Chains A and B, each alone.
Chain A
Amino acid sequence: MPSKFWWVFAAYVIVWLGIFGYLGSLLGRARTLEREVQRLKDETARR
C-alpha cells in the first residue's frame, strides 16, 4: 500500500459522502414534497 494511503482514502471518502449524501437528501426531500403537493391539491379540489 502506498505511503500516506489512508490520508487520501479519508479525503476521498469524505468528499463522496458529502456529495452523494447531499444528493440523496435532495432526492428524498423532492419525493416527500411531490407527495405533499399532490395531497394538498387533492384536498383543495375536494373542498
Chain B
Amino acid sequence: MTSVDRFLLALSAAGMVALLYLIFMVVPNEKTMGFVQRIFYFHVPLAWVSFLAFAITCWEGIRYLATRDHDHDRVAAASAEVGLLCVSLVLITGPIWARPVWGIWWTWDLRLTTTLVLWLIFLGYAILRRSIPEADRRAVLSSVVGICGFAAVPLVYLANRVKATQHPAPVVGGGQGSGLAGIMLFTLMFGFAVFTLLFVMLLRARTAVARLEDAVEEITMQPSGPEVGHA
C-alpha cells in the first residue's frame, strides 16, 4: 500500500464517518417514507459509482483496443469488478428499502429490470475474463464486452425519466416537481463525494493486484523462470 493509498483510505474513512453523522444526526425524516428512506443516501451514491466504474471500463477498453497496452486492460477489468460490487450492493439495498415501503421485495419495472440487466452484463464480463487464459485474446474480447456493456448505463439512467415506474422518480435532474430539501441534497452530494473517493481507492488497490498477478505470470512464463507454487 503506497502513501497515496493510505491517504485515500484515511480520507474516505473520515468522509464515511462524517456522512454517517449527517445521515443519522442531521438529516430529517422524509415525509412519506420516514426513517427507512435513509437507505437512499447509500443506495444512490453506489449506483452513481457503478455508472462511473463502467464508464471507465468502456474508456479503458477503447484505449486498450487503440494501443494494445495491457495496463489499460488491467484498469478496465479492475473498474468493472468494483462496478459489479457496487451494482450488486444497489440490487441488495434496493429490495431492503422496497419491502417496508412498497410491501414487495421486487417488481419488474423498467428501472429495476435494466439495473438487473446491467449487473448480468458485467457478471458475464467477469466470467468471460476468467474463462480465457490467453492474455491478448482475453483483453480484446473483454474490451469489446466492456464497451458494448456500457450502453446499458444510459438505459438505466433514463428508465425512470422516460417512463413512470414503481421505482421513485428521480430527485436530482428529474425536471419539474423533482428536488430535495437543502440539507438532504447536501448530504446526497457529500455521499457522492465519499463514495467516489472510496471507488478511487478500490480501483487503485484492484489495479495494483492485477499488476502483481501479471508480474507473477510474466516471471513464471520466462524460459528459465521458476514454477509457481514452490515454497
* Contact residues, B12-37 vs A (CB, 8 A): 29, 34-36
Closest to A1 in B: B35
Contact B35 A22 (CB under 8 A): no
Contact A3 B93 (CB under 8 A): no
Contact B220 A30 (CB under 8 A): no
Question: When chains A and B are docked, how far (Å) is the Cα of A34 from the Cα of B82?
Answer: 21
B198 at the interface (CB under 8 A from A): yes
| Total residues of chain A contacting the partner, CB 8 A | 29
Contact B36 A43 (CB under 8 A): no
Question: When chains A and B are docked, how far (Å) is the Cα of A33 from the Cα of B85?
Answer: 22
Question: When chains A and B are docked, how far (Å) is the Cα of A3 from the Cα of B213?
Answer: 48
Taking chain B's interface residues, is the majority helix, strand, or loop, or is none over half, making it mixed? Answer: helix
Which residues of A sit under 8 angstroms from B231, Cβ to Cβ? 39
Taking chain A's interface residues, is the majority helix, strand, or loop, or is none over half, making it mixed? Answer: helix
Closest to A28 in B: B209
- Known A-B contacts A27-B205, A30-B212, A37-B212; A4 and B34 likewise in contact (beta carbons under 8 Å): yes
B39 at the interface (CB under 8 A from A): yes
B132 at the interface (CB under 8 A from A): no
Question: When chains A and B are docked, how far (Å) is the Cα of A8 from the Cα of B96?
Answer: 8
User: Could you tell me the distance in whole angstroms from the C-beta of A40 to the nearest C-beta in chain B?
Assistant: 4
Question: When chains A and B are docked, how far (Å) is the Cα of A37 from the Cα of B228?
Answer: 10
* Contact residues, B103-127 vs A (CB, 8 A): none
Question: When chains A and B are docked, how far (Å) is the Cα of A4 from the Cα of B42?
Answer: 17
* Contact residues, B172-231 vs A (CB, 8 A): 198, 201-202, 205-206, 208-209, 212-213, 215-216, 219-220, 222, 224-226, 228, 230-231
* Interface flags, A1-20, vs B, CB<8A=1, else 0: 01111011011101100110
Closest to A36 in B: B216
Tell which of B100, B198, B228, B230 touches A7, judged by Cβ atoms closer than 8 Å.
B100
Which residues of A sit under 8 angstroms from B99, Cβ to Cβ? 7
B56 at the interface (CB under 8 A from A): no
User: Could you tell me the distance in whole angstroms from the C-beta of A20 to the nearest C-beta in chain B?
Assistant: 10
Contact A40 B219 (CB under 8 A): yes
B residues adjacent to A (C-beta < 8 A): 1, 29, 34-36, 38-39, 42-43, 46, 82, 85, 88-89, 92-93, 96-97, 99-100, 198, 201-202, 205-206, 208-209, 212-213, 215-216, 219-220, 222, 224-226, 228, 230-231
The 5 lowest CB-CB distance pairs between A and B, nearest first, are: A33-B212, A2-B35, A43-B226, A4-B36, A40-B219
A residues adjacent to B (C-beta < 8 A): 2-5, 7-8, 10-12, 14-15, 18-19, 22-23, 26-27, 29-30, 33-34, 36-37, 39-41, 43-44, 47
